[in-house]
Amino acid sequence: MLDLPPDKAKEVADLVATTDGIIFHLWPHGESLPTGKVSIAQSVGHRDLKAKEYKEYKK
């Protein structure tokens, strides 16, 4: 939500606050097909990972 105007960010945050659960990502970046390897989204207010952070995450 970091790239949304404040009114839209609030709208998204209000909607997300009513949900329950975890988002599973089954199609890793760079793969041609889903691998089934589960990763969990960072958060609603995500930011791009730096290369070093991504390498650490993959461990």
CA-derived radius of gyration, the chain? 14
Query: What predicted TM-score, i.e. pTM, was given to this entire model?
Result: 0.36
6-39 CB burial, b ≥16 within 10 A, e <16: eeeeeeeeeeeeeeeeeeeeeeeeeeeeeeeeee
Task: Say what the pLDDT of residue 12 is.
Answer: 87
pLDDT in tens, the chain (59 residues): 668 899 998 998 888 888 776 667 778 878 888 888 876 655 555 567 788 888 887 77
